[in-house]
Amino acid sequence: MKWKATLLMAILVFAVVASGCIGGTQETKTETTKVTLTGDFNKDVIEIGKILEKNGITEVKFSAWGSGDPNSVMRVYGIVDTAYKINRIWKQNGINVKITVTTKYDQSFKDQYQEFLSKQPLGQAGDFFVNSYAFLPTLAEEGYILDITNYAKAYQNVINDFYPNLLEAAKYKGKLYGLPQDTEARPLYVRKDVAECAGLDVTTLPEKVKAGEFTWSDVYYWAKKAKEKGCAEWGLIHRKGSAHPDLIQFIFAFNGKLYDPKTGKLVLDVPAVYKWLYVEWKFAQDGLLPKDIMSWDWAKQIHPTIVEGKTLFDIGGTWYWTEWQTKQYYHGRPLTPEEVKKWFAYTLFPAGEKGDKPVTLSQPFIWMINSKAGQLNPKYEELKDVYHALAFLMIIKASDPEINAIHSVISAHLPVRKEAAKLIKDENWLNKLKNLDLDLAPEVKDNIKDIVEKTVNPINAQFLADVSYMLEYTHLAPAHPKYPALADIFKEAVDKVLRGEMTPEEAVKFIEEKIKADKELADNVEIVGEIPKDWKFPQG
């Protein structure tokens, strides 16, 4: 019987070897794990699809995280649309692989950044992350986002179509860590009917601001007059939360700086910061700006106060223009494009005082790729480069001029590519967008149709054309890992002067002490200048 047992064992061993099964698990040999991009999108996508298929992968799961105003949903649906188009290419070429994308869209870009920061090390953050360029240095420094420099070399023709200054915002220490998704300007909005009541001529205002003839002293003068005449409840409304990036325009408007490129350090420009805080303090103490504005609710207080004509001036963003057309801020309903045009004028952020220049500020959002992108998919370690190359191709496709132009029109952000800028001026294309007669994923069409219906209008396209010149005056907040910490201190100081808890002088000292108390921050911030003596506001 012993020979029978030996024969049976041999048969079993042979069967196991012949079937390739060990321990009951099908052994699949990993095929090519590297991919070299050629710059031909279809060819590269097909090559990657074939590699995945040969390795037994039939589904690739990705997640896209985006955030911001309610109309900026293309920040996640751009990725969804890309998956749809890649899936179609694979299907047409007989490749049995499919990408599925889950989305997460939050209102607060800062909160989502903190979530990404905490969950990335745990492998729980989104594969795609579109957020402010201001956070890119920290994410790159921590190794949390993918360096796409080498991938991008094959797509230089696409890269060259981005506006160069915006592309710089996607770099850190000379390496490319993402692609620009949008940008914007931050106009000073002026309510026309309130201005007429106060006697302010808004028709010549943009040119006067550009010439530096209308400064923040003039803003104060007219805000005070509007309130005294009973034309509006407030003279000025501005954003809340972090002082980055809207309110730091005051620093640039008072000819200050925030960063020293020679030393690579942040700068606390004491004279400019003092003047900023003094303006805030003066407006609040004179009842022209709510003392508790930094804690106001966006939907219930800030936007309704603006669109209902309760203020003469508002410091906002270009995206307000269409957000007012889709959200029910005006007595429980959105404004029409005609109403927005009728009621609001817009201009650059005025110079701080005579001799200074008007400014605006942009905060480009960037498509970034998690350095662990695709990690929840099979054979991640062996196929990591393939998943990463696929993720790169997805942000290339999500940056198509048409996707970028759609985002610009429906959210009133400015295009980041020259070809997208051409599209928003094309009336024929706008009509196609209005009817959603474009090659988009059905899921994307379903999710943007209500926004498209309310915002695709020649009035809005004209607005984008009108404000594009502001980019010539734009500034960027420093792309420095410690800048968010400094911005938070600015926010505290602004809140305290608005509430009257500190004078502007005390608030500047408060900022200096907070910086010095944080050794790491102190090592990264230069404190320059002194509080100006005998400086007065308003002037003239």
* Size (the chain), residues: 540
| Distance in angstroms (rounded) separating the CA atoms of residues 314 and 236 | 6
Is 80 exceeded by the pLDDT of residue 220?
A: yes
DSSP string of 305-326? Answer: HHHTT-EEEEE--TTHHHHHHH
Average pLDDT (482-501) is 94
Tens-place pLDDT, residues 52-101: 999 999 999 999 999 999 999 999 999 999 999 999 999 999 999 999 99
What pLDDT does 476 receive?
Answer: 87
**Cβ count within 10 A of residue 500:** 11
**Cβ count within 10 A of residue 239:** 20
* Closest C-alpha among 531, 530, 532, 525 to residue 259: 525
Is 50 exceeded by the pLDDT of residue 235?
A: yes
Tens-place pLDDT, residues 70-79: 999 999 999 9
What pLDDT does 22 receive?
Answer: 37
The model's confidence at residue 131, banded by pLDDT at 50, 70 and 90, is very high
CA max distance for the chain: 114
The number of C-alpha atoms within 13 Å of 20 and in the hemisphere containing its C-beta is 4
**Cβ count within 10 A of residue 348:** 26
The model's confidence at residue 241, banded by pLDDT at 50, 70 and 90, is low
Domain boundaries, the chain: 41-183+364-400, 188-361+479-528
Contact 390, 53 (CB under 8 A): no
| Distance in angstroms (rounded) separating the CA atoms of residues 474 and 317 | 13
Q: What does DSSP assign to residue 261?
A: T
Is 70 exceeded by the pLDDT of residue 122?
A: yes
The string over 441-467, giving b where at least 16 C-beta atoms fall within 10 Å of a residue's C-beta and e elsewhere, is beebeebbeebbebbbbebbbebbeeb
Q: What does DSSP assign to residue 420?
A: H
What architecture is domain 188-361+479-528? 3-Layer(aba) Sandwich (3.40)
Cα end-to-end span (Å), the chain? 114
Contact 76, 66 (CB under 8 A): yes
Displacement of CA 196 from its chain's centroid (Å): 35
The string over 310-329, giving b where at least 16 C-beta atoms fall within 10 Å of a residue's C-beta and e elsewhere, is ebbbbbbbbbbbbbbbbbeb
Tens-place pLDDT, residues 373-402: 999 999 999 999 999 999 999 999 999 999
Is 70 exceeded by the pLDDT of residue 30?
A: no
What pLDDT does 243 receive?
Answer: 56
Q: Hey, what's the torsion of the CAs at 11, 17, 19, 25, to 10 degrees?
A: 120
Q: Quick one: angle between helices 442-455 and 74-92, nearest 10?
A: 140
Average pLDDT (420-446) is 95
* Closest C-alpha among 74, 66, 48 to residue 399: 74
| Distance in angstroms (rounded) separating the CA atoms of residues 540 and 535 | 12
The model's confidence at residue 242, banded by pLDDT at 50, 70 and 90, is low
Displacement of CA 518 from its chain's centroid (Å): 28
| Fold of the CATH domain 41-183+364-400 | D-Maltodextrin-Binding Protein; domain 2 (3.40.190)
What pLDDT does 477 receive?
Answer: 85
Q: What does DSSP assign to residue 122?
A: G
Tens-place pLDDT, residues 276-295: 999 999 999 999 999 999 99
Return the SS3 of 171.
strand
| pTM for the whole structure | 0.80
